[in-house]
Amino acid sequence: MRPYHKIPIVESNEPLVKIPLELFAVENPHPYENLGANYGQHSPYFLRETVVEKLISAQNHLHSLHPGWYIQIFDAYRPVNVQQFMVDYSFAQLLTEKGLHESDLSPQELEEIWQKVYDIWAVPSLDLKTPPPHSTGAAVDITLVDDSGEVVNMGSPIDEMSDRSYPDYFIDRNSEFHQVRQLLNDVMIQSGFTRNPREWWHFSYGDQMWAWLSDQSTAIYGRLL
């Protein structure tokens, strides 16, 4: 369990709605669908209705600061089966990167690999009390695109399983990377989102992590599917 899983959920029953993609930049093709993930009846570009409204507000605020810049949506709603798919994919990816075979590893070595995976990925839990944030329709993974149409270099790619994913990793290392991460954070915080302390790209509103980080007594969005 993560600390935010202690927060109770009082489901609002607010619907998932399609993100108006014409207002944003979009990762294309969608990274997880491109790997073979099956999102079922909803595309990954859905969020709870209020979350979409707040995301539009953040985009408008970004435009007021940097005309021509866009929030680029990497991933949003994610059913638990997709969470499981990406956890398994990331585990296999780590083994490949390290030149390891699962059958050759001791229980302790396996545990160390899984810990690296779960430093980034939420457990694909089916327990309604401990939903992965993205399965609630409350969380979105994003980056920035500048006025020349180029994706802004944030110092590390989304989903990188390393310390560089921590939002403040570059605070004393590279002021440019830290500044653009702070810009992204500022426009999202201004619209009511909170940022995952482990991931510079992950923001949410209304889920358990949001409630935990913003000192709310309850979350308003639980798992949908």
* Catalytic annotation, residues: 199
Nearest to 81 by CA among 126, 129, 136, 29: 126
Nearest to 79 by CA among 9, 133, 10, 34: 133
Q: Which amino acid is at 29?
A: P
- Between CA 92 and CA 185 the distance in angstroms is 31
Residue 15 exposed, middle or buried by CB count within 10 Å (0-12, 13-18, 19+): exposed
- Between CA 2 and CA 214 the distance in angstroms is 16
